[in-house]
């Protein structure tokens, strides 16, 4: 790899400092003198370089140096492709903020440090956690230009002890010469904010969204020394979006340091122009949306009661066009098929937006980062994510807004096949339904079958490019015709108007979409942990009932094939369990076998056990009485992106019938 002269000099300086710190030169001199004294023959006048290197390697000096420098290389056996963007990687063991840093000398980085928090008044009376004590924690999640970071969890306190550093790459791709380092002017045109989400995790593992903040980082471009300190006030979410929840102290620093900084006036002018441009685009779209709505109401006055959702409030209480919540999202190699994507969205937790007091449902459509970091959300959040993933797979997908039974507002996803097939995807369950509309004007030849889907009415459909309001005489899903090109049935919004505020980079107020992260859960280890915890809980429960507990490991192992139901969820193909049935039939004569599989989307064993006891059949197995009772439990954890998981548990018992 070829380095610029200044970078090569800087790397040499780092290596020289490390060698001096280890006193390598002194140790080499000692070994040289010892080698000359012990190994050099009287007739030899000089020691060759090869002899010296052999002596150094024999005494472990070279190994010590390489361990201390710890150069990190990937695919050592393969020759790296010639690329000017190959990163130089090294570890500084003395560093406390950043243990390992991947540095590309041709790119510019923004080093963001979180130097503690204060004024988190909700935790003013929080006692200091004892060593080893489980307590509620704060975790800070960041997203910037397709990069995601997560801080170490810190105990919840009035002044939480955040001390983390994040190295964010700000180099802009496809900007002419891709190997040229971004200068101040180039970076000033990069309007992507740093999205910061604060999550609270309680002692039971339940997560709560505390704050969502968009940090404008470009003020550092006007700092004389290339570094600036900021005080960020975090506001609450939902109904508390006007209430401060705490303050973070943040330091921003450019690396490498800028050779030429901009004046603060230039930076402020650029930011003001962007805000003005965004405000004007949003104003024009609002004017257009009002005109579109007036025209929609003139078609039929009853349209006023239909769920036609043009704007929705995010977690910060800001109204955004619904089309901005959807964007084609590719999952890379984390999800293989659209049905697997539907299963992933399904296993993310469902939770309605919290509301203080009564008065019906609190509306809150979360930005994607807030939804993923919290690992749960409302039906709209699930539908937006599923639609984005299906668009990424090349399907023509839309989010549908309407109602379920009893007029409950709901959102789901619809895909339109090239052959005209309409498929509904329920994002909360992963179920798919084929829609066949009934023509109410035709005489019924035969009694129409009742639709299997739970949807009753539909007001509008939308994706990242289109918004269509249902203007058919009836908004009943059962008789609705989904010919979206027929403007007599679906009133479209101007695609140009939608693009002006929803296209990527159209406005600076548009939250960027983060990539999905791979799971950090070890499925085998987690399965064993949950299984051991359940065994302990069952034994304690039976002990309270005056019953002894004998576990049969072989029976537990035989239950594994029966827990292949997850493959049915992701492929819609039933996995045959003939082998499992055959193995179970081999129980001794006169014995009875009972088993029950049960499914969860969380890893809390105590919570799962309490739920199992509410099932009469499961309780009958756990509390089984009889002769030669043997119990078994098997747990299989299936992991998905964002550390989401599906947990399958099967309880079983075998006993001798005495009746």
Helix count (H) and strand count (E) of the chain? 16, 25
Average pLDDT for residues 640-649, to the nearest whole number? 94
CATH of the domain at 623: 3.40.33.10
Residue at 61 is within a domain: no
DSSP 214: E
Q: pLDDT value at position 134?
A: 82
Interatomic CA distance for residues 563 and 635, integer angstroms? 8
Question: Dihedrals φ, ψ of 390, to 5°?
Answer: -65, -35
Q: Are 654 and 591 spatial neighbours (Cβ–Cβ below 8 Å)?
A: yes
Q: Are residues 429 and 541 in the same domain?
A: no
Give Cα 77 to chain centroid, integer Å.
Answer: 33
Domain count of the chain?
3
| CA dihedral sign, ordered 42, 44, 45, 50 | negative
Residue 559 predicted with pLDDT over 80 = yes
> Could you tell me the residue range of the domain that residue 207 belongs to?
109-173+181-262
Q: Are residues 532 and 467 in the same domain?
A: no
Residues 71, 88: contact at Cβ < 8 Å?
Answer: no
Q: Are residues 486 and 539 in the same domain?
A: no
**Residue 460 DSSP label:** E
304 and 357 housed in the same domain: yes
- Contact indicator for 212, 237 with CB cutoff of 8 Å: yes
Structure confidence at residue 571 as a pLDDT band (50, 70, 90)? confident
Which H/E stretch holds residue 592? strand 591-600
In the predicted structure, residue 313 carries a pLDDT above the cut 50: yes
195 lies in some domain: yes
For helices 5-21 and 61-69, give the axis angle rounded to 10 degrees: 120
The answer, yes or no, to whether residue 3 has pLDDT greater than 90, is no
The CATH number covering residue 216 comes to 2.60.40.150
Same domain as 481, residue 576: no
Kindly state whether residues 225 and 330 are assigned to the same domain.
no
Q: pTM to 2 decimals?
A: 0.80
The answer to whether residues 315 and 193 belong to one domain is no
Residue 268 lies in a domain: no
| Nearest alpha carbon to residue 551 among 443, 459, 652 | 652
Under the banding of pLDDT at 50, 70 and 90, the label for residue 138 is very high
Instruction: Kindly state whether residue 614 falls inside one of the protein's structural domains.
Output: yes
Residue 6: CA count within 13 A, CB half-sphere = 5
* Dist CA 303 CA 311 (whole Å): 17
User: For residues 439 and 433, what is the distance between their CA atoms, to the nearest angstrom?
Assistant: 19
106 close to 181: Cβ distance less than 8 angstroms? yes
Stronger pLDDT, 539 or 590, i.e. the higher one? 539
Q: What integer is the mean pLDDT of 412-417?
A: 96
Q: In the chain, pLDDT over 90 holds for what percent of residues?
A: 55
Q: Is the pLDDT of residue 364 over 80?
A: yes
Residue showing tokens 């043009």 = 310
Distance CA 633, CA 631 (A): 7
CA-CA distance, 638 to 632, in Å (whole number)? Answer: 20
Are 238 and 348 part of one and the same domain?
Answer: no
pLDDT, tens digit (0-9, with 9 covering 90-100), for 603-628: 899 999 999 999 999 999 999 988 88
Confidence band for 100, pLDDT divided at 50, 70 and 90: low
Note whether residue 240 is domain-resident.
Answer: yes
Examine the pLDDT at 31 and tell me if it is beyond 90: no
**Are 344 and 379 found together in one domain?**
yes
**Is residue 568 domain-shared with residue 652, that is, in the same domain?**
yes
CATH number of the CATH domain containing 290: 3.10.620
Flag whether pLDDT at 325 surpasses 80: yes
Helices 495-502 and 264-299, axial angle in degrees (round to 10)? 150
Euclidean distance between CA atoms 562 and 598, whole angstroms: 11
Find all residues with CB under 8 Å of 122, minimum gap 6, and list them: 245
Mean pLDDT value across the chain: 84
Same-domain status, 468 and 613: no
Percent of the chain with pLDDT over 70: 82
What 3-state DSSP class applies to 282?
helix
Nearest to 375 by CA among 239, 227, 528, 200: 200
Q: Is the pLDDT of residue 131 over 60?
A: yes
Q: 454 and 317 in one domain?
A: yes
Residues 6+ apart with CB under 8 A from 229: 249, 250, 251, 252
């Amino acid at each position: 790899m070829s380095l610029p002269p200044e970078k090569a000099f800087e790397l040499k300086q780092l290596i020289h400092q490390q060698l001096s710190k280890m006193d390598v030169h002194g140790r080499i001199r000692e070994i040289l003198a010892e080698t000359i004294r012990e190994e050099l023959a009287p007739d030899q006048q000089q020691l060759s370089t090869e002899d010296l290197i052999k002596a150094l390697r024999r005494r472990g000096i070279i190994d010590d140096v390489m361990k201390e420098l710890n150069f990190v290389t990937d695919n050592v056996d393969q020759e790296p492709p010639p690329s000017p963007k190959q990163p130089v990687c090294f570890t500084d063991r003395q560093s406390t903020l950043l243990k390992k840093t991947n540095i590309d000398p041709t790119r510019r980085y923004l080093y963001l440090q979180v130097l503690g928090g204060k004024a988190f008044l909700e935790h003013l009376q929080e006692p200091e956690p004892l060593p080893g004590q489980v307590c509620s924690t704060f975790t800070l999640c960041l997203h910037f230009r397709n990069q995601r970071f997560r801080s170490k969890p810190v105990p919840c306190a009035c002044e939480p002890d955040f001390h983390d550093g994040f190295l964010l790459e700000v180099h802009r791709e496809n900007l002419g010469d891709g190997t040229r380092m971004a200068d101040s002017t180039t970076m000033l045109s990069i309007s992507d904010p740093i999205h910061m989400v604060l999550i609270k995790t309680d002692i039971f593992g339940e997560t709560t969204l505390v704050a969502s903040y968009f940090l404008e980082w470009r003020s550092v471009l006007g700092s004389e020394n290339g570094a600036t300190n900021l005080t960020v006030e975090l506001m609450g979410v939902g109904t508390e979006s006007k209430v401060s929840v705490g303050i973070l102290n943040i330091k921003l620093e450019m690396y490498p340091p800028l050779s030429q900084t901009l004046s603060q006036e230039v930076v402020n002018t650029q930011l003001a122009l962007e805000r003005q441009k965004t405000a004007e685009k949003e104003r024009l779209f609002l004017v257009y949306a009002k005109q579109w709505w007036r025209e929609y109401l003139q078609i039929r006055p009853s349209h006023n009661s239909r769920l036609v959702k043009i704007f929705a409030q995010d977690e910060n209480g800001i109204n955004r066009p619904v089309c901005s919540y959807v964007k084609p999202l590719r999952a890379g190699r984390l999800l293989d098929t659209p049905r697997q994507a539907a299963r992933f969205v399904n296993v993310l937790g469902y939770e309605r937006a919290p509301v203080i007091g009564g008065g019906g449902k609190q509306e809150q459509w979360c930005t994607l980062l807030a939804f993923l970091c919290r690992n749960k959300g409302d039906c709209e959040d699930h539908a937006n994510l599923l639609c984005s993933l299906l668009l990424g797979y090349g399907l023509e997908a839309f989010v549908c807004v309407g109602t379920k039974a009893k007029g409950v507002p709901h959102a789901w996803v619809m895909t339109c096949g090239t052959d005209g097939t309409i498929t509904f995807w329920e994002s909360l369950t992963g179920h798919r339904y084929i829609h066949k509309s009934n023509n109410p004007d035709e005489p019924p030849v035969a009694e129409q079958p009742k639709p299997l889907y739970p949807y009753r009415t539909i007001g509008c459909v939308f994706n990242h490019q289109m918004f269509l309001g249902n203007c058919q005489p009836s908004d009943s899903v059962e008789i609705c015709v989904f010919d979206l090109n027929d403007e007599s049935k679906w009133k479209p919004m101007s695609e140009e108007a939608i693009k002006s505020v929803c296209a990527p980079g159209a406005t600076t107020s548009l939250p960027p979409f983060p990539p999905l992260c791979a799971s950090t859960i070890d499925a085998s280890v987690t399965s064993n942990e949950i299984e051991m915890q359940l065994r302990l809980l069952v034994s304690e429960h039976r002990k309270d009932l005056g019953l002894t507990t004998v576990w049969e490991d072989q029976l537990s192992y035989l239950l594994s094939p029966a827990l292949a139901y997850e493959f049915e969820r992701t492929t819609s193909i039933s996995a045959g369990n003939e082998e499992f049935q055959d193995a179970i039939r081999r129980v001794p004569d006169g014995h009875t076998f009972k088993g029950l599989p049960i499914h969860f989307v969380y890893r809390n064993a105590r919570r799962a056990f309490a739920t199992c006891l509410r099932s009469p059949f499961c309780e009958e197995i756990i509390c089984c009485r009889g002769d030669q009772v043997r119990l078994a439990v098997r747990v299989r954890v299936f992991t998905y992106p964002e550390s989401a998981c599906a947990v399958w548990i099967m309880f079983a018992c075998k006993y001798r019938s005495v009746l």
